[in-house]
Every structure is written in C-alpha cells, then in structure tokens.
Amino acid sequence: MEVPLLVTDFLRRAVALYPDKTAVVDAENRFSYRELDERVDRLSNALLALGLERGDRVCILSPNSHFFLESFYATAQIGIVLVPLNYRLVAADHEYILNHAGVSAVLVDWEYVPVVDEIRSALPNVKHWVVAQDDGEPSEGWLSWNALLDQASPTKPHLPDISENDLVSINYTSGTTSRPKGVMMTHRNCYLNAYNMIAHMSIHHDDIELWTLPMFHCNGWGGVYALTGMAGTHVILRAIDAEEIYRLLAEENITFACMAPAVLRTVLDYPDKERFQIDSSPRFVVAGAPPPAAFIERLETELGFEFIQLYGLTETAPLLTVSRPDATTSKQDWPRRARAGVAGLGVDLKVLGEDGEPVAKDGKAVGEICARSNVVFAGYYEQPDQTAEAVYDGYFHTGDLAVWDEFENIHIVDRKKDMIISGGENISSPEIEDCLYQHPGVLECAVIGIPHEKWGETPVALVVKRDDAGASADTSEEVLITFCRDRMAHFKCPTQIRFVDALPRTVTGKLQKFKLRESFWDGDRRIN
C-alpha cells in the first residue's frame, strides 16, 4: 500500500486524537485543536468562495500569529500554494516577489497594510486583499479575515486529489544574486523534514513551543507541521522581547523553542532573569549561524536549558544536520557542539572537493557540502537555469564550504558565494553593492560579512571613492549608510563603510573577497 505524504496529516491526527487539547496560545486567544481545525476549514472555504483554485498562489505577510499558522493548513488542504513573505523586506522587494510568483490573493497582518497599499497599483495579478486582525475594522479596500471566516462554512471542504509531489509553498530566499529565488517545497519535502524535526528535536505530545522563530523562515523550519502532528501547543510570540520571552517561559511552561543566535544572545543577556521561576528546562534549537561555544555553555550551565543546533537551508526544508551530545560528542565539549553536526535521517551528505570527490575526513581538507535527500526542494520557481546550477550529479550543492572528521561531523568554514547571515537573515552582498553603485561618489565597492558579537556577522562595505566629477558628491560613511537605508530593508544595509584606495583583484580582474575578509576573521570564518 502506498499513501501520499501530505502535510495535512499532521493537523488531521491532532484533531482526531486530541480535539480539546490547547493548540494555540496567541496573546488573549486560546484555541483547542477542534477550534483551530474549524478556523482552518472556514478559511479554506472562504478562499474557494473568492474564486481561488488549486495551484493558485496566495501570500501571507505577517509576524507570527494564529492567522499565520491557520494559513499553512487552509491552503495546503485545497491545493493552493502559500507564499510566506519576510515582513522585514521593503515594499519594492514584496512587489517583485508577488509579481514573480503570480500571487492572486494577499493575506496581510494589519500592521503591514500600509506597506502593501504602497505597491498595490503595481500588483496586477492580485484580486483579493485580506487583512488579519482580531480587533477593529479593516482599512478601505480590505476584507476582514475573521469576517470571511464568519461567513464561510465550518464543514470540511471538498478536498482535491493532492499528490505528495504537489507544491505546499514557494519560499523566497535572498540567494547570492540581487533578486530573490522562489524555493518550491512539496508535501513530500515538508512531511519528511517534519519527521526529522520530531526525531532529532525530540518533539512529543507534551511539548509547548515558544515561537521566537519567524514562521516565514522555511515554514518555521517545519515546526508548524512537526509540533502539530504530535499535538503540542503553539505559544506565539509576535516580536522578540526578552521580558516577554521569560514571562512565557515561566507562565506557559515552555519546553521547546527555535531561534537564531541573536535571539539566544537576547535571552542570555537579559538582566532580570532571576525574577522568573522556570521549571521546564526547555530545549533551545539554534540555526542560521553558529553560536559561540560560550553561549552553549552559558545556556546549559547558567540556565539549565538544553542546547541543540541544526544546519540546513531553505532549499532543504531545512534540516540537514543536527548537533547534540551523542556517542562522539560529550555534553561538555562546547566547541564541538558549536559545529553543524552530523547528517539527519534520510540525508546523504558529502563534502566534495573541486574534483567532485569527497575530501579527506581529517578536519582539515575543505570542500563543498552537498546533499541528497527527500527534503531537497523541487527547484527554483520559473528559474530552471539557477536550479541546474544548484542541483547536478545527483546532489544539491549548498555553496557552503566545510571540513568533516572521521565521524562525519560537519564544521562549516566559509561560503563559496558571498551570502551574509546576520541575525539569522540572509543578506545578498551583490544587492548592497548594486545599491552603493547608484551613489555618484562610489567608484568601486565590495561588501563582506565580518564578525559581530550579537548578530553573528554584519555587512561592511569597502569603498573606493571616485576621483572624477563624482568626487564632489558627499561620500562620508554616514551619508552612504543613509543612502542604503533609504533604498533597502534596514537589516540588509551595511553597518560600516571602510574607504580603501583599491580592491584586491586577480590578473583577470576578478574580485578577491577572501583577501578582504582575512583581517576581520583572522582565518576563522565559520558560517552555517
């Protein structure tokens, strides 16, 4: 017998077995699994009543909320493809993504309605505008999410014959070019990733997850499926606030949370943590960049929490490796535990050299991490050339460079390309460079990531000033940073400008960014 692997199975199981168990805690809202399921069914029926059909794309632009969680299941069960947007992007980024994906309906948190209204006239494919808010009346031209649910049928909609290879979502990632790429995730990708989350993160029925991780990040790393499938409780945090995190840890008995290293740092450095009695010893899962070994030691020795690290990419749903104490890594081996770890279930990992052969497992030889697994994406949406550049010879080539040891424990040392990860957010260095080149006083520039204690790394621009007519333009550090902040999402902008006489290049004119990094990283650049 062969039964398709569909992400809707996770909610179906929770509702069938534990209908009265608390599914969601979101501020004043508390929904049981029966109530969550009814809201999901009503949303599905409301989308169908608007005329949406299987295969249509619907975006959601929102911080973490119960609305966001509902959108995952309401779209999946009727064959609609969800496009989660990064709310930290600027309107121009959203305009490109919505048009590229061919989105026909937008679901938008009330706080971000003005952002979408700014580009509304440039979105010819969008026919429906729905605002998510628990209180108040929607803005003019917007439909109320809750009002649509009130008008919709609570019965299970007619479900199409969905294949496990049908798309669940298109998740846009910054990539290494100035335009984001749409990562196509299937039911099969997301389902098997959720199984790995359950296995490697030890997710179980009594888990209560604090959502510090944005749900738009690769569908919450698969947590929206994994935790639901085990009928755990989703405690939703709209924005990162250290005091609120500690309050929820204590009052809701949180047992599990996923986050970027910057959030972990926020938790560790909160000065009033002693005010809160936390009895649950939660598991903190960190990814996006490797935390310092000292962070791991502090979390476990000072707070008594458990640290787990995972490594992956949006293209891999995302779990590829996991780092936690095992037969080869002791609990107190903090430096080793700061590494990316070993392959997850069903993940065939190789570290390949320039010749396409595995490098020596000696912890010294550097190669590219390549993966073969059912969690690897279906390709980049309408970008077959870029898909072919990433998937060939039977493997997905991550672009991350690493060493591995005799136990196949992966330690990432650099990237083949120039992606910067700051606070868990992917930042494209060519995008920043393109912006700087628009300034008349910039002759040449190169953007690199340099170490940052809180964010892991931060973008810094090396700039050569013009000595011709453009030299009259003000090219001070403050002016150039402001120039970027006026044109890009602020988290993408350089935090420093360093002026140089020339940029290092090869004899063929190729920029040598590794030489620029040397003085900042001191030979120890570790990214994942």
CATH classification at residue 131: 3.40.50.980
Asked whether residue 425 is assigned to any structural domain, the reply reads yes
Using the CB atoms, write b or e for 362-379: b if 16+ within 10 Å.
eeeeebbbbbebbbbbbb
Which of 140, 170, 188 is the endpoint of a domain?
Answer: 188
- Judged by DSSP in three states, 209 sits in strand
Asked whether residue 43 is assigned to any structural domain, the reply reads yes
Asked whether residue 528 is assigned to any structural domain, the reply reads no
Q: Which region, left, alpha or beta, applies to residue 382 given φ > 0 means left and ψ of -120 to 50 means alpha?
A: left
Q: What is the pLDDT along the chain (528 residues), one digit of tens a residue?
A: 999 999 999 999 999 999 999 999 999 999 999 999 999 999 999 999 999 999 999 999 999 999 999 999 999 999 999 999 999 998 999 999 999 999 999 999 999 999 999 999 999 999 999 999 999 888 899 999 999 999 999 999 988 899 999 999 999 986 545 578 999 999 999 999 999 999 999 999 999 999 999 999 999 999 999 999 999 999 999 999 999 999 999 999 999 999 988 899 899 989 999 999 999 999 999 997 777 788 899 999 999 999 999 999 999 999 999 999 987 888 888 888 988 999 999 999 999 998 999 999 999 898 999 999 999 999 999 999 999 999 999 999 999 988 999 999 998 877 776 678 888 887 878 778 878 988 989 988 999 998 888 888 899 999 999 887 556 678 899 999 999 999 999 999 999 999 999 998 755 566 778 788 877 865 444 443
Distance CA 369, CA 351 (A): 5
Which of 147, 171, 188 is the endpoint of a domain?
Answer: 188
Which of 163, 188, 213 is the endpoint of a domain?
Answer: 188
DSSP state string for 406-448: TT--EEEEEESS-EEEETTEEEEHHHHHHHHTTSTTEEEEEEE
Asked whether residue 28 is assigned to any structural domain, the reply reads yes
CATH classification at residue 467: 3.30.300.30
Asked whether residue 243 is assigned to any structural domain, the reply reads no
Query: What tokens does 237 get?
Result: 């945090």
Structural domain count, the chain: 2
pTM reported for the whole predicted model: 0.87
Distance CA 159, CA 458 (A): 46
DSSP state string for 144-161: EHHHHHHHS--SPPPPP-
Enclosing domain of residue 492: 419-521
